[in-house]
Structure 1
Amino acid sequence: MAKVTDRVRVVSAPDILNIIEALDIPEFITTPSKYRFDAVEAFCLTLARFRSAGDLSDLCRIYHRSQSAISEIVNFVTLYIDNKWKHLLDFDHTHLLHPENLAQYAAAIHQAGAPINSVWSFLDCTIRRMCRPSHYQRQAYNGHKKYHALKFQALMLPNGIIGHLDGPYEGRRNDNHLLRESGLLEKCAQYAIKPGTCDSTPVEKRYFQMYGDAAYGISPYLVSPFYGEKSREEQEWNNTMGAVRVEVEHGFGLVAKLWPFLNAGWKMQLYSSPVGSYYRTGVLLTNAFSCLHPNQTSLAFDCQPPTLHEYFHEPE
């Protein structure tokens, strides 16, 4: 992972300008307190904040802007990116998650060693620590991790892109609650249909499938490891899928590695900062950099991500 992270650290100025253009950042921004920034300064300050878990005072000394100015522009850019591009993290069935692309993802995963050729993505949830909120503390408390948190549901594609992100949800919620509330299975039923199939095709052959852990169970759109007492063949199947999934876990960890600010739970104050938008924007920025520089997951599956301008498109 160091190689991937290092590439992003030395991303070139033209890359930054390309991302600003793809994100459609306004040329000039005036914050509520009348601080004025151009697009390059606003975006680069946001990147600097996301790259640091330190205090804003550190950025003030480096970039010669006040704490309030940096805080306001970072929140402005964060909310702007989240609101404008959040449709890309839903179920982008016309582009990134078009059935023809799902077929390519399934072929790449099968080629990498998966024992079946219908799995197109890997489903998981992530828990993001935050400060103890002033309200609804019990709902936010995650008993397993023993801290207050928000949860997100994500799908990792073999091209290194996070193709779906839903949340945030209260930290106490389990993974199956997130799956139900997200409506992801219903979207798969509508869009994850194998080309060339029809209503008369047996249901087990009609759909592409996600792969999740054993807690998710099995459906026409989702497969998971064999659970409980297993035969030798079932254990071998689990081991094979587990080996394939390892590379995907690197992809989920890339967001945390690139943006240390998102790991600073002591800075995530639910009712005074856009905590959920911070993480969603971090995922979108990670996807942007992965489009420019294919990450470890993409290289392991030999599956190329879309170009920057293919990924960032307006909703249809």
Structure 2
Amino acid sequence: MQRPRPEINGQKITHEYLESLFEEECEWAFRFIQHEVAAIIKAMDIPDPFITRDGHRFSSLEAFCLLCARLRMGEDQYSLSTKYGRSQAAISQITNELAVWMEWRWEHLLGWDEDGIMHPNRLLEYAAAFHGFGVPSATIIALIDVTIRATCRPSFLQELAYTGYKKVHGMKFQALTVPNGLVAHLAGPYRAPQNDMGIYAESKLEQMMLEKAIQPGSSPEDPPERRYFQIYGDSAYGLSPVMISPYMAIGELTPAQKEWNKAMGQVRISVEHSFGLVSQQWPFMNCVQKQKIWGTRCGTFYKVAVLLTNAKSCLRPNQTAVRYNCMPPSLEEYFHH
């Protein structure tokens, strides 16, 4: 006999309420099922209770679920208020303040986390995974690209947010995707009109890799391909000791160069899959009318969406991890102190 469905309208989010949901309902509402919610709250060490600046008091469970519900759909806060028995003001404060807390507490995971997913041993693992899939080079560890997140037209300084290429207002983020399916490095937000190479220079990623992406056992006298690991990007990025891009020529490419470009083109799509996964999991980020550069924390929300997507990929490996047979770390390993 099926258990009765719980009443949705005005229902406070508690452990009992989550347990009363079917797994499909819980995932539809919050993107995670019941035991995953508990595991992420514990791994992220969310304060319990979480008290907003105006004194609204939330359990860590309610705070986390409300943030997920906010990112899960493009509905307004009135709709969330009628569903989950909290005022619009309280929901606004908890979603904003918890997102800020998550960014402050865990943003280092989206930098070059050499104690975690960018540890030298893991870099060897990534290079081997790509090479085993068919990448010609045995030293490529990640794929790089930039995404633009569309926003409302700002009321002032519009030229900083408008890109004539895409004909939208927005902001840009630069990401590195590794073969276990995680976004290992996220830089931004940057101005929308800025090109990819300008963002790469401003992010100082190259300097960071020259310091940290060094192959074990190499020496300073070794050539770049034996000294450093590399990342792969499109032709806009050019070449450097830590960057590889496709062969370009004024005339016809040689058959070997064409074959190399073809092999690399088969893996580069994985970084686009990472961007797509964030947008698919958290549709609120696609609601242009709710992304206001001077009015909402759209940059913070995107970083939090990436962290939550990485968390879900740790719990359930995504298509990129399966494709390269490179499994992500456990949730506890990823959210390390």
Letter in 1 for 2:261: N
2:109 partner SS: helix
More deviation in 300-309 or 33-42?
A: 33-42
Match for residue 125 of structure 1 among 146, 165, 176: 146
Preserved contact between residue 247 and residue 300 of structure 1 (Cα < 8 Å):
no
Change (3 A) 1:19 1:267: same
Which has the bigger relative contact order, CA under 8 A and spacing at least 6?
1
Match for residue 231 of structure 1 among 254, 261, 273: 254
1:45-75 deviation per Cα after TM superposition (whole angstroms, max 9, x unaligned): 0000100012222212211222221111100
Between the aligned partners of 1:249 and 1:178, the Cα distance in structure 2 is 17
Preserved contact between residue 26 and residue 33 of structure 2 (Cα < 8 Å):
no
More deviation in 158-167 or 61-70?
A: 61-70
Letter in 2 for 1:51: R
Q: Which residue of 1 aligns with 2:115?
A: 94
The answer on 1:69 being equivalent to 2:90 is yes
Preserved contact between residue 197 and residue 237 of structure 2 (Cα < 8 Å):
yes
Between the aligned partners of 2:181 and 2:318, the Cα distance in structure 1 is 6
Q: Which residue of 1 aligns with 2:302?
A: 279
Letter in 2 for 1:176: M
Between the aligned partners of 1:179 and 1:232, the Cα distance in structure 2 is 30
Q: Which residue of 2 aligns with 1:112?
A: 133
The answer on 1:309 being equivalent to 2:327 is no
Letter in 1 for 2:34: A
1:7 CA displacement: 11
Change (3 A) 1:248 1:175: closer
Q: What are the within-5 Å matches in structure 2 for residues 154-165 of structure 1?
A: 154-165=175-186
Change (3 A) 1:275 1:219: same
Change (3 A) 1:11 1:209: same
| Structure 1 unaligned blocks of 5 or more | none
Match for residue 18 of structure 1 among 10, 30, 39: 39
The answer on 1:294 being equivalent to 2:317 is yes
TM-score (normalised: structure 2): 0.89
Between the aligned partners of 1:122 and 1:72, the Cα distance in structure 2 is 36
Between the aligned partners of 2:83 and 2:270, the Cα distance in structure 1 is 37
RMSD of aligned residue pairs (Cα, Å): 1.7
Preserved contact between residue 122 and residue 211 of structure 1 (Cα < 8 Å):
yes
Between the aligned partners of 1:250 and 1:30, the Cα distance in structure 2 is 36
1:84 partner SS: helix
1:186 CA displacement: 0.6
Q: Which residue of 2 aligns with 1:267?
A: 290
Q: Which residue of 1 aligns with 2:267?
A: 244
1:304 partner SS: coil
Between the aligned partners of 1:241 and 1:203, the Cα distance in structure 2 is 19
Q: Which residue of 2 aligns with 1:31?
A: 52
Between the aligned partners of 1:102 and 1:22, the Cα distance in structure 2 is 24
Letter in 2 for 1:55: D
Preserved contact between residue 158 and residue 248 of structure 1 (Cα < 8 Å):
no
Between the aligned partners of 1:150 and 1:281, the Cα distance in structure 2 is 16
TM-score (normalised: structure 1): 0.94
Question: How many residue pairs are counted as aligned between the two chains?
Answer: 310
1:135 CA displacement: 2.4
Between the aligned partners of 2:137 and 2:171, the Cα distance in structure 1 is 33
Paired-residue identity, %: 45
Between the aligned partners of 2:304 and 2:46, the Cα distance in structure 1 is 13
Q: Which residue of 1 aligns with 2:20?
A: none
**Which of these two proteins has the greater Rg computed from alpha carbons?**
2
Preserved contact between residue 235 and residue 245 of structure 2 (Cα < 8 Å):
yes
Letter in 1 for 2:129: A
1:258 CA displacement: 0.2
Preserved contact between residue 144 and residue 271 of structure 2 (Cα < 8 Å):
no
Between the aligned partners of 1:79 and 1:232, the Cα distance in structure 2 is 51
1:200 CA displacement: 2.1
Between the aligned partners of 2:244 and 2:200, the Cα distance in structure 1 is 14
